[in-house]
Amino acid sequence: MQFKPLNDLVLIKPDQSADRVGSILLPESAQTKSTTGTVVAVGHGKCTDSGTFVPTTVKLGDKVMYTKFSVTTELVIEDVTHLVIPEGSIVGIIEG
């Protein structure tokens, strides 16, 4: 399945969250969700209230950090959970 986000939405494949501390397996309720991931697809951008078009700044393949409490939609593609989030929820691009 292919998915193309609209407007300023971004499709992210989250990094794996840690499910262990040393050799101790953590229950799902104790695991913290990842706030980093890789951009898999991006929308074209959005129009401001004044009518100016603002293109998205993230690109395919960027490693990004997003807010923990961002509005997300989960989407399963080929048995892998992805997140659809607005670009405004992305805190920054991780380089290096």
Confidence at 21, pLDDT banded by 50, 70, 90: low
Provide the b/e sequence for 69-95 (b: ≥16 CB within 10 Å). Answer: eeebeebeeeeeebbbbbbebbeeeee
Contact 53, 47 (CB under 8 A): yes
**pLDDT value, residue 46:** 92
d(CA 30, CA 4): 33
Decide which of 96 and 7 is more confident.
7
* pTM reported for the whole predicted model: 0.80
Average pLDDT estimate for 36-64 = 94
Tell me which fold the domain 9-94 belongs to. 10 Kd Chaperonin, Protein Cpn10; Chain O (2.30.33)
Q: What residue type is assigned to position 48 of the chain?
A: T
What are the sequence ranges of the domains in the chain?
9-94
At residue 12, the pLDDT reads 95
